[in-house]
Chain A
Amino acid sequence: MINRFSNKVGGLRNLIFIATLLALVLTLLLDIYALDRILAPLAYFYLFFALFFMFYGLYPLYANRRLTKYYWDRTKRHRLSILGLIFIIFLIAIALIGPFLTQDPTRVNFQEKNLPPSGFSIQQSVYDLKTGGFVTRETPGTLQHPLGTDDKGRDMLAMLVSGARVSLQVGLLATLMAVLIGTILGVASAYLGGWVDNALMRFTDVMMTFPFFLLLVFIVFIFGPSLAFIILAIGLTGWTGTARLVRSETLSLRAREFVMASKSLGASGTRIIFRHLIPNVISSVIVIATLSIPGVILAEAALSFIGLGDPTVTSWGVILNAGQRSLDTAWWVAVEPGIMLFLTVLAFNFLGDGIRDAFDPRSQL
Chain B
Amino acid sequence: MSDTVLAVKHLKTHFFTRHGVVKAVDDVSFDVRRGETLCLVGESGCGKTTAALSVLRLVDSPPGKILGGDIAYHNDNLLGCPDERLRQIRGKRIAMIFQDPQSSLNPVFTVGDQIAEQIKLHLRLKRKEAMDRVLQLMERIGIPKARERMKDYPHQFSGGMKQRVMIAIALSCDPEILIADEPVTALDTTIKSQILDIFQGLKQQKSMSILFITHDLGTVAGIADRIVVMYGGRVAEVGTASDIFHQPKHPYTHGLINCLPKVATGRIRLAPIPGTIPSLIDPPKGCIFSPRCQQRMPVCDEHIPKEVTITSDHRVACHLFA
By a beta-carbon cutoff of 8 Å, the part of chain A in contact with chain B is 3-4, 7, 193-194, 256-258, 260-268, 271, 275-276, 279-280
Q: How far is the CB of B86 from chain A (nearest CB, A)?
A: 8
Cβ contact within 8 Å between A266 and B104: no
B170: A residues at CB distance < 8 A: 265
Closest Cβ of chain B to A364, distance in Å, is: 14
Give me the 5 closest cross-chain CB pairs, A-B, nearest first: A265-B91, A266-B91, A266-B90, A264-B96, A257-B104
Which of B58, B105, B106, B121 has most A Cβ within 10 Å?
B106
CA distance A279 to B103 in the complex (A): 16
What CA separation (Å) do A33 and B98 show in the bound complex?
A: 56
Q: Please state if B124 and A3 are interface contacts (CB–CB under 8 Å).
A: yes
Supposing A7-B120, A266-B121 touch, asked if A280 and B169 sit within 8 A by C-beta, the answer is no
Q: In the complex, A301 Cα to B145 Cα: how many Å?
A: 57
Decide if A4 touches B124 in the complex (CB within 8 Å).
Answer: yes
A264-B122 Cα distance, complex, nearest whole Å = 13
State whether B58 touches A264 (Cβ < 8 A): yes
Known: A257-B100, A280-B107. 13 other contacts (CB 8 A): A7-B124, A258-B103, A260-B58, A261-B98, A261-B105, A264-B58, A264-B90, A264-B91, A265-B118, A266-B91, A266-B121, A276-B106, A279-B108
A258 with B104, Cβ < 8 A, contacts A7-B121, A264-B96, A267-B121 known = yes
CB neighbours (8 Å) of B90 from chain A are 263-266
**Contacts A4-B124, A7-B124, A266-B87; is A257 near B92 (CB within 8 Å)?**
no
- From A280, which residue of chain B is reached at the shortest CB distance? B108
Cβ contact within 8 Å between A266 and B89: yes
- When C-beta atoms are compared, the residue in chain B nearest to A283 turns out to be B108
The answer to whether B108 touches A261 (Cβ under 8 A) is: no
Question: Which residues of the other chain, A, contact B91 by a CB distance below 8 angstroms?
Answer: 264-267
Q: How many residues of B contact A (CB 8 A)?
A: 32
Q: Which residues on A sit within 8 Å (CB–CB) of B98?
A: 257, 260-261, 264
Given A266-B89, A266-B91, A279-B109, also A261-B121 (CB < 8 A):
no
Instruction: Judge if B56 is at the interface, Cβ distance under 8 Å.
Output: yes
- Chain B positions within 8 Å of A268 at CB level: 87
Closest chain-A Cβ to B213's Cβ sits at a distance in Å of: 13
Complex CA gap A7/B118 in Å reads 11
B62 close to chain A: CB less than 8 A? yes
A275 to B56, CA, bound (A): 21
Q: How many A-B residue pairs have CB under 8 A?
A: 71
For B56, the closest partner residue in chain A by CB is A264
Does B31 have its Cβ within 8 Å of any Cβ on chain A?
no
Q: Can you list 8 residue pairs at the A/B interface with Cβ under 8 Å?
A: A3-B126, A257-B98, A257-B103, A265-B96, A265-B169, A266-B89, A266-B92, A279-B108
Q: Which of B92, B96, B107, B122 contacts A261 (CB 8 A)?
A: B96
CB distance from A250 to the nearest CB of B (A): 13
User: Does A256 lie within 8 Å of B96, measured CB to CB?
Assistant: no
Q: Chain B contacts of A7 at CB under 8 A?
A: 120-121, 124
Whether B316 is near chain A, meaning CB under 8 Å from some CB there, is no
Inter-chain contact A194/B62, CB cutoff 8 Å: yes
CB neighbours of B100 from chain A (8 A): 257
B88 interface contact, C-beta 8 A: yes
Name A265's closest neighbour in chain B (CB-CB). Answer: B91
Is the Cβ of A266 less than 8 Å from the Cβ of B118?
Answer: yes
Q: Is B117 an interface residue (CB 8 A)?
A: yes
- Cβ of B135 under 8 Å from chain A: no
Residues of B within 8 A of A256 (CB): 103
B25 at the A interface (CB under 8 A): no
B57 to chain A, nearest CB (A): 9
Nearest Cβ in chain B — how far from A325, in angstroms?
Answer: 53
Partner of B95, one of A258, A260, A264, A276: A264
Residues of B within 8 A of A260 (CB): 58, 98
Tell me the smallest distance from the CB of B119 to a CB of chain A, in Å: 10
B13, chain A: closest CB distance, angstroms: 15
Q: Is B166 in the interface zone, CB < 8 Å from A?
A: yes
Q: Give Cα A258 to B165, complex, Å.
A: 12
Q: Complex Cα distance A268/B117, Å? A: 12
Least CB distance from B272 to A in Å reads 30
B127 → chain A, closest Cβ, in Å? 8
Compute how far the CA of A358 lies from the CA of B118 in the bound complex, rounded to whole angstroms: 32
Write the nearest CB–CB distance from B129 to chain A, whole angstroms: 10
- Give Cα distance in the complex from A267 to B105, angstroms: 14
- B106–A258 CB distance below 8 A: yes
The residues of A that contact B107 with a CB separation of less than 8 Å are: 258, 280
Q: Roughly how many angstroms separate A171 CA and B157 CA in the complex, as a whole number? A: 41
Q: Which residues of A contact B169 (CB under 8 A)?
A: 261, 265
Q: How far does the Cβ of A284 sit from chain B's closest Cβ, in whole Å?
A: 12
Q: How far is the CB of A256 from chain B (nearest CB, A)?
A: 5
Set of chain B residues within 8 Å of A258, measured between Cβ atoms: 103-107
Within the complex, the shortest CB–CB distance from B174 to chain A, in Å, comes to 13
Most interface-central of A4, A257, A264 (chain B CB within 10 A): A264
Query: Nearest Cβ distance between residue A63 and chain B, in whole angstroms?
Result: 11
For A276, list chain B residues within 8 Å (CB).
106
Q: Residue of A at shortest CB range from B97? A: A261
Q: How far is the CA of A279 from the CA of B62 in the complex (A)?
A: 26
